[in-house]
Structure formats: structure tokens, C-alpha cells
Structure 1
Amino acid sequence: MKNTNNVKKPTIFVTYNWNDASDLFILNLKSNLKGVEMKYDKVEIDCWDSITNFMNTIGQEDFVVQILSDKYLKSANCLYEVMQLMNSPNWTEKTMTVVMNDATDIYDPIKRLEYIQYWSDETEKYRNQLSSLPDSATVDVKEVLLKYEAIRDNIGKFLMIAADRSNPKVLDAVDAIKKKIKPVQKKKKKSNKNQTISAKTKSLLTSLWAKIVPLYREISTIMIIKHDPQRLEAIKQYRNEADALKTAFDVIKPQLKKDVRDKIQNFIATIKDFYDAAVWVCSLEKTSKTLQGAPLIRYTSAIMDTSSKMEQMSKFIDGYYLKFENCICGND
């Protein structure tokens, strides 16, 4: 008799703003979807859990259902999730957008400008508030400003992509979501046949994965916030953890197939290179604040060059993240 308990259910991250229409849609979706794992804040976040940590997982799920409302498009938390999603590989392929009735203005290019203006105003308002306070009291909250700036700079692109899609009507959206997920459910059942990985190796890989996940999430944050000298010590700590990954992997390496071993080895090496570059850029940025003239130009050029390489490494890491997860789940 086949054991179906080990079949991995497709996962769906639902991103939405708390309001009556979106809440009702989620209840309808939940009652109609079977054999899937729906993840949204009201069921995933316990008392005193980190909201940001949960939001950072949006790019890791098989699918994303994005319920756009006017409140959603004016919410910093909701759009932070969008920024995280846009940093994940093939995000448009796994994202299903539902446009609520009060957000249909996104289809009008002129109306989309109003959302860009809204976030431009909000960013400036926050910046002015910060400038009136002493620097020593605002070191941590400056990260909020950087997030606002990321939203301001990217919301136009996001809205253009959302408006260009053939989004179903709200009343038809649940059936459309079910249809998109159904083939993946069948595919996942078939892929569960050949699991030759030993229990010991599986345990070691899972332990390695637990070390990689926080490093991967921090990369997304660094790419949004860029090179902030204030975060240099924290990034150095992450770099040390990236160095430790190689030692942990060397224990597992002899027990893996060559193709799997090579994938993971390249993945870990690139993570380490990314953090080396991040530390270097933050150090350059810190030093550049004391320079002028030609030395400043040289440092600025080095910062831009290294930042460009970090962007390329980030995309490579994104591409291998899901492949590495498959190696752990199925050793394929």
C-alpha cells in the first residue's frame, strides 16, 4: 500500500490588507481549496512572533495569491511583502493577482501615477520627521526610510506588471486559482516516488538548510537597503555564519550524488562571496564619508562596481534557492 502521508502539499502565501472584502475572499478561497497549505498572517503569526520574519517568507512558497485593494496599495507592510516577492526568482509565474473593486484604478496609467505620488509624499514626510530628531536616536528606524524609498522607487513597475496581466474578475478568481494549482498537485505526487536519500543524510541536509534560510533572507534585505555602514557589524556576523556553512557541508558532501553535491557547493560558495562583497561595500561606504575629490570618486566607483556584482550574485542565489530546497526534499 502506498504511503501518501509524505506527499508535499503545494503552499500558497496570501498577501492582503485587513478589510472586509479581502477577509471574505480568503474565507471563500480556504473553503474551496483542498490539498494545499494556505499561509497568511492571521493563522501563521502567533502572539509575539516577528511579523517581518513571516513577511520575508513570501518568495519561498509555491504560489502567491495577491489581493490588491486601495488599502493594500497604501500599506507599507503589504508593499514590503511585494518588494520581497519581486526579489524572488520567477515571481510573476507563481503570483496570482486578484484586483478588488476599489483598486481597479491600477488599469489607468494616469491613476497609477497617484500611487507613485502617494509614496513619494509618504517617503518625504518620514524623511522630514527623521531629520528633526538626533542621529543617535534614529539609527535603527532609518531602515524604515530605506524601505519607504524602495517602495517609492518600485511601485510604478509593480503596478504596470499587475495591470498588464489578465486578472480574473473577483467572482471568478477562486475557480481560476484552483485551476492553476491543480496540475502542480498532480506533479508533486509523481515526484515523490524515488526518495533514496538516507535518514542520516536527510537529517544533516535539513540542519544545513536551517543555517542557510536566515542567510538567504538577509540577502533580500541587503539588496533593498543596499550598503548601510550602520549595519556593517551585523553583516560581518552573517559573513562568519556563511563561512561556517562550508565546514557543515564538508561533513555531508561524501554522501551526496555528484550533481547534487556540485549544485549545493556552488550555491554555498556564492553566498559566501556575496557576504564578502557586502562587508567590503559597507567598509568602503563608511570610509568614503571622510573623503573628498579624487579619492572619493575612486571609492564611489568601487562601491558601484561591487554593488553591481552583488546584484548578479543575488540573482544566481535566488535561482539556486529552490533547486537546493528540492535537493533536500527529494535529492533530485
Structure 2
Amino acid sequence: MHVVLTGGTGFIGSHTCAALMEAGYDPILIDNLSNSTLEVHRRLEEMTGKRIPFIQADLRDPASYEDVFTTYNVGAVIHFAGWKAVGESVEKPLDYYHNNLSGTLQLLSLMEKYKVTRMVFSSSATVYGTPQITPIPESHPLETLNPYGRTKLMLEQILLDWFHALPSMRIAVLRYFNPAGAHPSGAIGEVPTGTPANIMPYITQTAAGIRPKLRIFGNDYPTADGTGIRDYIHIQDLASGHVRALDHINGSPPMYDTFNLGTGNGWSVLELIRTFEQITGQTIPHTFAPRRPGDVAVCYADPSKAESVLGWKAVHTLEDICRDAWRWESREAELYHSR
């Protein structure tokens, strides 16, 4: 089956591409390269030994990628593309609404035009806002705290409305927690071209001497050590979750459903740093800064629904995340940054 991956050369998209190919799917990548590079595509082809179609296009310009739907018999779309930095979204809300909403609406229109009825959507745990209970189940009330999260929440509602209007659709919405790590081969990993949206690149770049010090935002949260607690999921587990979700919608009757992808465990920022130091032998100098707008104290998943329905469970440890992220940074990331 041909599967279109929007944002396909990004961090999550590239790892999911590799996982899909291992599972026998044929990915087609669409990306505007605003937060990735063509080197990712080259590495994916090198890793897999196969040609992977790639189209450089912006989803807001449907004419630039409509040929994908006429050239290939597209069976499904996995939609990763979108801006994702919480702090930046607070500073530039109109840009985030325009990019994330407009691009998705254009994509959905093409899917409807060409009768593509399967979709896996990249959502986020930010749709839960300040957690009322932890671990967080999918039934938790939805109320986000920042424009980025609101774009995800709005898009979930749009997809649900679309499903009600077109009941032949099969839509799986995946709410990610905190992706980290890298492919164990060291061939692909997280390559932020601007300000990283996740903490791990800050840690690995500090360890590599690219950054002098790690800034930790907030040490006065109501947690054991004062720093925020998050559910860090290995990128390989997250990628396998997409494969399981696609397998599920391929074999199911029409449906719309949501799934948490997380480990069910929470670690504080200081616990993450200590684990990284123990695994790698590197020291991470750090300092504390005020909390960022939109951040919450504790956020970790109840992933039991994904396990029972999709047959998916995270299997990698926090130690695996740190080991693979450092292997990536120390061996390969410099090559990407220089291109």
C-alpha cells in the first residue's frame, strides 16, 4: 500500500517511514523542509536500500503536491506536518493557526477529492491542558493552554466532523507525549534546523559542547525535585505505534478513535539529565530559568487503550533513549548541521 507521509523527513516522520518500510508499506514523503533537510531522505534510502518518492511542497499550496494522488494509488495518509513549538506559538499565534489549520484543510480536501479514506493524525498530549488526573486517559477533558495545542484540538474536531460527514472514513488520532532518542543505527535522528521543540537536543548539544549550558525552565513546580515531569517515549516506539495504528484502520470498519502513545511513566527533567549523565559519562551543566507560558507540572500517559486495541506497547527504556540520542549526536548530527 502507498502511504503518504506529510512532514515525512521530520523527526517522527523519518523514523515512521523506516518502520513502515520494514512492515511492507510503500511510503511517499511530502515535506517543505522548513524543519528538516534533504539529507534525511538520502539516509532513508541508504538505510532501506530502496527508492522512496519525495516531493518538496507546502501543504498550503495543494497544486504543488496534488500529483501524488494522481500518480500513485494512495491508500492512506499519515499527517505529521505542522509547526510544534509551544513557546513560539504563544509569540506567533496567527502564523501557527494559518500554517497548521490551512495546510491540513487543503490536504483533507485532496483526500476527499481522490477518495482516500484512511488517515493517521499526529496530535499531542497538549490537548489535555493541565492534567486533572495522572496517568492521563483518552477520556480526560480537553482544554489546551497554548495556540499550538489549540491547533491540534481544533484539527481533532475538524476530523471528527469530517468523519460524521463521510462515515466511510477510518481515522486514528494519536496523542503523543514526549518523543526522544534516535534510530539505533545512528543513521537518522532529531535534526532541528531552528530552535529545538524538544528537550533532548538541548541535552545532547550541551554534552557535545555546541551549547554552553542547559536551561531548565522552572524549578518550583509541585514535584519532588521542583522540575516538570514528562512521559519520554523512544522515537522507535512512537514509530511502531503508527504502523500498528495503520494496520488497525486497514482491518477495521469505518471508525474515528483516539489513542495515547506514551510509556505510562513520568520522569522529571533532573531525572532525565542524571540518567543521561550515567549512561553516557557526559556532564550536563545546567541553570534554572522561569517557567514558560503554557507548561504544566506533570504530564504522563495512560497508554492502556493503545495496548488493548492496537496491540502496541512502548518497550524502550529511558536509558535506551539517552544512549541512542547521544550516539546520534556524537556520530552523525554534525554531518547534518554542516549541510
TM bucket normalised to smaller: under 0.3
Higher-strand-fraction structure? 2
Higher relative contact order, structure no. (Cα contacts within 8 Å, ≥ 6 residues apart): 2
